[in-house]
């Protein structure tokens, strides 16, 4: 084992060495800005491959029957392409250890296997639909007690934390309501009340480019690599980051035991995606900001942390380096919203976000349909809410396409040389001029 490998083995953790290094001189070397670190990787590949090769092999040979395995023996347990990706992710997530699995939900499954029957979980009331579904399953089948509270209110969390609290699961911003959670304050109060409780943060909406929840006091951060990290909607992946190596070992145990580690080919694709995260996110955010301002200036109620009108603007910017590229707005009518979504051409009607292509959806009918209507109502999820997940296209094309759809659906009127919102007032929607359909 070379010196540089030993130095990378933080806290004596036994990560397999060559050729899996991401940035071998990790410890002690100069840290570049994140945009640089995202693309800067090294390997000890025997041919000096610039891109870490795909080790498309399920098994690795041992030198002899008795010598024991090399660094790798079986891909469920470890694979050089995956290890390379994991080290690269650890670096950009400011984590001691990162783990890559088959999907974001796979990551949460691995994390929640730390729980035992009788354990209590505290979480929000505006969660990703899949998270909601998995927690409901754990609660009805595995004896886990799940408390859904309004985690935007730190004081609502405090009285529920007890010595039975095993996990506090947070997501910020939430989606599609774009509510901001004070991760640092909640982590502090939870750890003070119960030193064993784990604070887990779903960072999918921001990615490590915009936020590092471990630095805010979280014990475990995870995110769907399907979104911003991959950026092209061509793979599913999930990543987990921790600083406590004992927790990392437990999570690795589950991954090895259940076989949900990310495949070599998908590890390669995720690595490729991560290298362009900065440039994609910068463009997506800039586009999202313009679109949010466009909608707001036309009278729509827009939820986006890049807007000063967001009620938790300061809180968001105290934790994050950007606003992300997901926003939502309301039209006042479910059928108008449906018509808008269906009238767009550039905006793909699709769940998910973080992709180079722009997407539009109606969460209550799509990503959040697994939450029943009654619960959606209790959680004040407006049925007409439209979610925009902004891509890297030319922003004027995106705004033109959206304007045309808004006019066609009757929620914005066309005047001689401009578009004017009739937005939130349903009766005004009838005042649309004859050119409305083709107007903009
Ligand atoms: C998509 C998503 C997940 C789940 O990730 P998958 O890769 O689809 O399994 C979890 N949390 C949030 C916030 C997401 O957007």
Active site residues: 76, 128, 202, 227
Give the pLDDT band of residue 422 (cuts 50, 70, 90).
low
Residue 375 has pLDDT above 90, yes or no: no
Residue 427 has pLDDT above 50, yes or no: no
Domain match, 239 and 301 both? no
How far is ligand 1, taken at its centre, from the CA of residue 115, in Å?
Answer: 20
Average pLDDT over residues 143-159: 96
Pairing of strands 220-224, 238-242: antiparallel
How far is ligand 1, taken at its centre, from the CA of residue 355, in Å?
Answer: 13
**CA dihedral for 95, 99, 101, 107, sign (positive or negative):** negative
Q: Is the CB of 103 under 6 A from ligand 1?
A: yes
Residue nearest to atom 2 of ligand 1 (CA): 224
The last residue of one of the domains, among 245, 274, 303, is 274
Domain match, 199 and 109 both? yes
Give the pLDDT band of residue 2 (cuts 50, 70, 90).
very low
Domain match, 180 and 318 both? no
Average pLDDT over residues 395-409: 96
Q: Is residue 431 part of a domain?
A: no
CA angle 46-48-13, nearest 5°? 70
Average pLDDT over residues 16-23: 52
Residue 423 has pLDDT above 90, yes or no: no
- Using most ligand atoms within 8 A of CB, pick from 126, 224, 324 the residue to mutate for ligand 1: 224
Q: Is the CB of 132 under 6 A from ligand 1?
A: no
Q: Is the CB of 226 under 6 A from ligand 1?
A: yes
Number of domains in the chain: 2
- Residue 204, classed as helix, strand or coil, is coil
Q: Is the CB of 171 under 6 A from ligand 1?
A: yes
CB 19 within 8 A of CB 42: no
CB 278 within 8 A of CB 209: yes
- Report the C-alpha gap between 227 and 230 in whole angstroms: 6
Residue 268 confidence (pLDDT)? 98
Which element (helix H / strand E) includes 84?
A: helix 80-92
pLDDT in tens, 38-49: 999 888 888 888
> What does the chain come to in residues?
440
Domain match, 246 and 342 both? no
Give the pLDDT band of residue 414 (cuts 50, 70, 90).
low
Q: Is residue 432 part of a domain?
A: no
- Residue 150, classed as helix, strand or coil, is coil
Backbone angles phi, psi at 262, to 5 degrees: -70, 140
Give the pLDDT band of residue 115 (cuts 50, 70, 90).
very high
Q: Is residue 427 part of a domain?
A: no
Structural domain of 240: 3-274
Residue 377 confidence (pLDDT)? 83
Domain match, 205 and 81 both? yes
Give the pLDDT band of residue 65 (cuts 50, 70, 90).
confident
Residue nearest to atom 6 of ligand 1 (CA): 104
Domain match, 393 and 297 both? yes
94 vs 43 pLDDT, higher one: 94
Residue 288 has pLDDT above 70, yes or no: yes
Average pLDDT over residues 364-386: 84
234 vs 375 pLDDT, higher one: 234
Contacts of 178 (CB under 8 A, 6+ apart): 303, 304, 305, 310, 326, 327, 328
- Using most ligand atoms within 8 A of CB, pick from 101, 103, 105, 151 the residue to mutate for ligand 1: 105
Domain match, 269 and 304 both? no
409: CATH: 3.90.1150.10
Residue 18 has pLDDT above 60, yes or no: no
- Edge-to-edge strand order for the sheet containing 220-224? 97-101, 238-242, 220-224, 198-202, 165-171, 120-123, 145-148
Domain match, 352 and 305 both? yes
pLDDT in tens, 241-280: 999 999 999 999 999 999 999 999 999 999 999 999 999 9
85: CATH: 3.40.640.10
CB 120 within 8 A of CB 162: yes
Q: pLDDT over 70 for what percent of the chain?
A: 88
Domain match, 205 and 344 both? no
Residue 429 has pLDDT above 80, yes or no: no
Q: Is the CB of 267 under 6 A from ligand 1?
A: no
Q: Is residue 434 part of a domain?
A: no
- Using most ligand atoms within 8 A of CB, pick from 227, 234, 239, 240 the residue to mutate for ligand 1: 227
- Report the C-alpha gap between 22 and 300 in whole angstroms: 46
Average pLDDT over residues 98-107: 98
Residue 20 confidence (pLDDT)? 55
The last residue of one of the domains, among 235, 258, 274, is 274
Q: Is residue 426 part of a domain?
A: no
Backbone angles phi, psi at 387, to 5 degrees: -105, 135
2 vs 262 pLDDT, higher one: 262
- In our burial notation (b when 16+ CB lie closer than 10 A, e otherwise), range 296-318 reads bebbbbbbbbbbeebebbebbee
Q: Is residue 102 part of a domain?
A: yes
Within its chain, how far is the Cα of 389 from the centroid?
Answer: 12
How far is ligand 1, taken at its centre, from the CA of residue 18, in Å?
Answer: 32
- Edge-to-edge strand order for the sheet containing 348-349? 301-303, 326-330, 386-389, 359-361, 348-349
For residue 108, give both structure tokens: 């949460």
Average pLDDT over residues 280-287: 98
How far is ligand 1, taken at its centre, from the CA of residue 205, in Å?
Answer: 9
Residue 419 confidence (pLDDT)? 52
Domain match, 288 and 264 both? no
pLDDT in tens, 164-184: 999 999 999 998 899 999 999
The last residue of one of the domains, among 274, 309, 344, is 274
Q: Is the CB of 204 under 6 A from ligand 1?
A: yes
Residue 13 has pLDDT above 70, yes or no: no
pLDDT in tens, 186-237: 999 999 999 999 999 999 999 999 999 999 999 999 999 999 999 999 999 9
DSSP string, 123-134: E-SS--HHHHHH
Average pLDDT over residues 338-353: 94
Mean pLDDT of the chain: 88
Q: Is residue 134 part of a domain?
A: yes
Residue 12 has pLDDT above 50, yes or no: no
Domain match, 239 and 308 both? no
Q: Is residue 429 part of a domain?
A: no
How far is ligand 1, taken at its centre, from the CA of residue 232, in Å?
Answer: 15
CB 423 within 8 A of CB 394: no
- Report the C-alpha gap between 373 and 381 in whole angstroms: 9
Domain match, 311 and 251 both? no
Pairing of strands 120-123, 145-148: parallel
């Amino acid at each position: 084992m070379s010196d540089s490998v030993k130095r990378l083995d933080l806290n004596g953790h036994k990560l397999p060495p060559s050729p899996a290094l991401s940035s071998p001189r990790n410890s002690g070397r100069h840290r570049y800005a994140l945009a640089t670190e995202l693309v800067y990787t090294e390997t000890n590949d025997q041919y000096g491959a610039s891109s870490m090769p795909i080790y498309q092999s399920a098994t690795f040979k041992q030198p002899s029957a008795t010598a024991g395995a090399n660094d790798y023996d079986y891909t469920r347990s470890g694979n050089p392409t995956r290890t390379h990706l994991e080290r690269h992710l650890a670096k950009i997530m400011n984590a001691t250890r990162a783990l890559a699995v088959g999907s974001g939900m796979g990551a949460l499954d691995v994390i929640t296997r730390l729980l035992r029957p009788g354990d209590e979980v505290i979480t929000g009331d505006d969660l990703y639909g899949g998270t909601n579904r998995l927690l409901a399953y754990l609660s009805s089948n595995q004896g886990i007690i799940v408390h859904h509270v309004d985690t935007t209110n730190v004081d609502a969390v405090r009285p529920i934390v007890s010595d039975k609290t095993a996990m506090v699961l947070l997501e910020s911003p939430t989606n599609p309501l774009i509510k901001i959670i004070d991760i640092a304050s909640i982590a502090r109060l939870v750890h003070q009340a119960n030193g064993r409780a784990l604070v887990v943060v779903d960072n999918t909406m921001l990615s490590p480019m915009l936020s590092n929840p471990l630095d805010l006091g979280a014990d475990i951060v995870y995110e769907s690599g399907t979104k911003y990290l991959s950026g092209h909607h061509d793979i599913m992946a999930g990543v987990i980051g921790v600083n406590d190596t004992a927790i990392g070992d437990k999570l690795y145990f589950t991954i090895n035991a259940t076989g949900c580690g990310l495949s070599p080919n998908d590890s390669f694709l995720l690595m490729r995606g991560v290298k362009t995260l900065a440039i994609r996110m910068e463009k997506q955010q800039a586009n999202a900001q313009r679109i949010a301002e466009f909608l707001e200036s036309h009278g729509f109620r827009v939820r986006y942390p890049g807007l000063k009108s967001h009620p938790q603007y300061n809180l968001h910017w105290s934790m994050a380096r950007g606003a992300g590229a997901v926003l939502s707005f309301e039209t006042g009518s479910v059928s108008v919203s449906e018509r808008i979504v269906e009238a767009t051409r550039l905006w793909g009607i699709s769940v998910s976000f973080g992709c180079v292509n722009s997407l539009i959806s109606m969460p209550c009918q799509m990503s959040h349909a697994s939450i029943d209507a009654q619960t959606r109502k209790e959680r004040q999820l407006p049925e007409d809410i439209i979610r925009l997940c902004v891509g890297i296209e030319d922003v004027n094309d995106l705004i033109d396409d959206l304007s045309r759809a808004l006019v066609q659906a009757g929620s914005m009127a066309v005047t001689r040389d401009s578009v004017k919102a009739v937005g939130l007032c349903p009766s005004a929607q009838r005042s649309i001029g004859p050119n409305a359909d083709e107007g903009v």
